[in-house]
Amino acid sequence: MTDIRTDIEGRAGRITLTRPKALNALDHDMCLAIEAALDAWRDDPQVSLVMIDAEGERAFCAGGDIAAVYRAGLAGDYEAGRAFWRDEYRMNAKLAEYPKPVISFLHGFVMGGGVGLGGHCSHRVVGESAQIAMPECGIGFVPDVGGSLLLARAPGGLGAYLGLTAARMGPGDALHAGFADCFIPESRWPALKQTLAETGDVAALDAAADTLPASPLAAAQPEIDTLFAAGPLAEIAARLDQAEGEIADPARKAVARNSPLSMALTLEMLDRLRAQESDIRSALRQEYRVSHRAAEMGDFLEGVRAQIIDKDRNPRWRYALEEITPELIAGFLAPLGADELAL
């Protein structure tokens, strides 16, 4: 039994996460259930569009449920995590490439796996309670589930800033950074969903949309660009050490706290995606090269232990900042041969 509800309502396929006590964290079975629903509705003439939402006030989806991956990795079983990520990434790709409109309703915490679920849909509705982030560098991982593509496409140095610091975006920031498409007050959502189900017509979104909220990140874009738009991790850290302000101060602390390996990998991943005409598949394949190796060779197990399991907030990272070399980064991003992600 998965913590998810999938059904057809009128002309809409409905996917609702029903795990509010766990902040709707995505586990392996939930990913498979979402994929099965998408596959079933792809050619169903009754289904004109798909809606994705979640129960509870606190979160659309606060991330992937990685406790099982941690336990397996601790026991030396790295395949459990690899299988989870393979299936989740395949689901992310199907959402991004779906031939029918897919509307996500983003409220509360939308982090990590929640961005992968809601952030690649064709119509991303954000509400006033949304707090969107990619916090993976804090657990010894990298922005994945296609999040690296969204970060690479964000303006200026914003993608590097969000990826390295795990800074949270409110609704205005999400629109500015390209993580959402329209702002609709959450009080309007029930009636909007009913109209969408009755008509199967996404034009109802334009009718419900409201004035764009302010974006503090847009106002801070020049400072973010100065600090994060160029240079390897060591140069960004050096600039932060010399800077002060509402952006620089918390960013400096985050960069000092998060995994140097994860942050350096993130910067290289974003650079590679920007250097070519990248799509969701190229981003997911690159991310999988890291996730395939993360538990065995990276900081993932230690980061999850420190932040989620023991919660001592005192991770012992494998590499110090000065120990990160181009060769180390290239190794994590090297092709996997027969183990490459198949989409």
Record the tokens describing residue 33, joined without a space: 């259930």
Residue 128 · residue 213 · CB < 8 Å: yes
pTM over 0.75, yes/no: yes
Which of these, 108, 15, 20, lies nearest to 56 by C-alpha position?
A: 20
Pairing verdict, β 4-9 and 12-17: antiparallel
Asked if the structure places residue 145 within a domain, the reply is yes
pLDDT at position 230? 84
Asked if the structure places residue 72 within a domain, the reply is yes
What's the average model confidence in pLDDT over 17-33?
97
Kindly report, residue by residue over 157-210, the tens digit of the pLDDT. 999 999 999 999 999 999 999 999 999 999 999 999 999 999 999 999 999 999
Asked if the structure places residue 340 within a domain, the reply is no
Kindly report, residue by residue over 116-146, the tens digit of the pLDDT. 999 999 999 999 999 999 999 999 999 999 9
The rounded mean pLDDT for the chain is 97
Provide the edge-to-edge strand list for the sheet that holds 59-61: 59-61, 109-111, 131-133
Residue 145 · residue 92 · CB < 8 Å: yes
Asked if the structure places residue 130 within a domain, the reply is yes
| Residue that is written with structure tokens 């400072």 in the block | 223
Asked if the structure places residue 343 within a domain, the reply is no
pLDDT at position 231? 83
Residue 28 · residue 68 · CB < 8 Å: yes
Question: Positive or negative, the Cα torsion across 340, 285, 14, 29?
Answer: positive
Task: Read off the pLDDT band of 8 (50, 70, 90).
Answer: very high
Asked if the structure places residue 98 within a domain, the reply is yes
**pLDDT above 90 (res 1):** no
Residue 91 · residue 42 · CB < 8 Å: no
Question: Positive or negative, the Cα torsion across 289, 292, 293, 295?
Answer: positive
What gap in Å lies between CA 41 and CA 269, rounded to an integer?
33
Asked if the structure places residue 50 within a domain, the reply is yes
Half-sphere exposure of 75 (CA within 13 A, CB side): 9
Residue 73's domain comprises 4-335
Strand partners, 308: none
Residue 291 · residue 336 · CB < 8 Å: no
Kindly report, residue by residue over 232-270, the tens digit of the pLDDT. 999 999 999 999 999 999 999 999 999 999 999 999 999
Q: What percent of the chain has pLDDT over 70?
A: 99
**pLDDT above 80 (res 2):** no
Residues 6+ apart with CB under 8 A from 288: 85, 86, 89, 144, 336, 340, 341
Residue 31 · residue 2 · CB < 8 Å: no
Q: What is the CATH number of the domain that holds 103?
A: 3.90.226.10
Residue 106 · residue 118 · CB < 8 Å: yes
Which of these, 146, 148, 134, 158, lies nearest to 266 by C-alpha position?
A: 148
Which of these, 84, 130, 224, lies nearest to 119 by C-alpha position?
A: 130
Kindly report, residue by residue over 267-303, the tens digit of the pLDDT. 999 999 999 989 999 999 999 999 999 999 999 999 9
Query: How many domains, the chain?
Result: 1
What gap in Å lies between CA 239 and CA 45, rounded to an integer?
56
Asked if the structure places residue 283 within a domain, the reply is yes
Looking at residue 342, the DSSP 8-state letter turns out to be: P
Q: How many CB atoms lie within 10 A of CB 232?
A: 14
Kindly report, residue by residue over 94-119, the tens digit of the pLDDT. 999 999 999 999 999 999 999 999 99
What gap in Å lies between CA 100 and CA 49, rounded to an integer?
6
Phi, psi angle pair for 333, to nearest 5° = -100, 5
Residue 193 · residue 51 · CB < 8 Å: yes
pLDDT at position 221? 97
